[in-house]
Chain A
């Protein structure tokens, strides 16, 4: 159902697309968010705002809750308390509302998660048709123009199983972009790739960032963080341990926690 016409949550992105985006406005807001699995606290009382066109890179030790945080933003995990606002809408777990808000949040997974029984084009078209109610021609056209953008026009009719990991991940990015998301979430998008394929995916992400996409990205690629991130957020000890511009957090961390984490990183 194309209900985006009179949808208030469209406003932030519309203005952004119109070129007068207010850099101060935030697309994603976490207010006092706590997430527990049973009795286990993953993080508590987290406040985080991501502005329009901002690129936030999340780093932190394994098990700190980086994935969980991203998954909370699009409602794959239900938060225990607090509030999450995306594109002006407070996340609730009413299925209809959640589906609508999710269609505006792109998510890219470590393991690509392309639908193996659909061609590349179908992968990118299916949700455009089912969720946004776009017609077949429009959805396919959009799929093809996005494939061109990620450099995979020649793979339009291929099936995911015949693609390399890097190609699959670029299709997954195109699939998410096809929904015209207000924000893109990336959870270690290059961690499952052979080293020689990492570059092609990061290049697509860098282009996206330069075109003004709002992004939240969990990654261990420190070079990417330095070059592309507006802000680096260190998740550790049940919350945000330190955040700031990449050169500050990565090179001159203030907190002991951050210094410790970064020294461990450089040891490996």
Chain B
């Protein structure tokens, strides 16, 4: 059985696993987006304790490996609560990404030139109007490409959830390699799947960017 025959034979189970990987990542990213936006709002607020809290959260999450966070949540808490593998994975991946997303959002807003805010305020626009009309749309344009790269990282990082036993793409590859004694073909195959997901995601982000950026000079 050559690579292509194997690819075809194992396509059904890998496609099924792709669905698990995609839904796991999607749930995690929705969660990460909401949490990340909240943390970013705290980081940008004028209230010092909120800022510290956000900075502490971001520092802690970014300073520790995802696999440790995942194991802590799944195995570490097992004496208190046994989480479903999918949800443990989604929460760990979500919390992990929320710290990065918070930083991305914060720096996106920071990239909006102060002069534009002052120009809006000088016209009599309120803080809220300025946020809605000027800061948010410009920050979004700055955030989008970086967010796209973070999403790509998240797809690939979701493979770590294999190590708590969730049968997503990477776990499926591990199982297949063990059963067939063909690790080279198997891991090549799974890489093709990840690559395909990443390429599609990249194309989507590029398109959105083009649409938003078409007015620029």
Binds B, one of A94-102, A231-239, A246-254, A257-265: A94-102
Question: How many pairs of residues, A versus B, come closer than 8 Å at their CB atoms?
Answer: 75
- Distance in angstroms from A9 CB to nearest chain B CB is 13
A101 contacts across to B, CB distance below 8 A: 124
Number of residues from B at the complex interface, CB < 8 A? 22
Using known A-B contacts A76-B118, A126-B133, A130-B129, determine if residue A113 contacts B123 with beta carbons closer than 8 Å. Answer: no
Residues of B within 8 A of A46 (CB): none
Whether a CB of chain B sits under 8 angstroms from the CB of A2 is: no
Q: How far is the CB of A101 from chain B (nearest CB, A)?
A: 8
Known pairs A113-B116, A159-B215, A161-B216; A131 contacts B124 (CB<8 A): yes
How far does the alpha carbon of A206 sit from the alpha carbon of B60 in the complex, in Å? 58
- Docked CA distance A123–B115 (Å): 14
> In chain B, residues 125-163, which have Cβ atoms closer than 8 Å to a Cβ of chain A?
125-127, 129, 133-134, 137-138, 141
* Nearest chain B residue, comparing its CB with the CB of A71: B118
Secondary structure class of chain B's binding surface, majority of residues: helix
Shortest CB-to-CB span from A148 to chain B, Å, is: 21
B113 at the interface (CB under 8 A from A): yes
B interface with A by C-beta (< 8 Å): 113, 115-116, 118-127, 129, 133-134, 137-138, 141, 215-217
**Known A107-B119, A115-B116, A115-B119; 19 more pairs at CB < 8 Å:** A95-B126, A99-B121, A99-B124, A101-B124, A105-B122, A107-B122, A109-B118, A113-B113, A113-B118, A114-B119, A115-B120, A115-B138, A116-B138, A116-B216, A117-B137, A117-B141, A130-B129, A130-B133, A179-B123
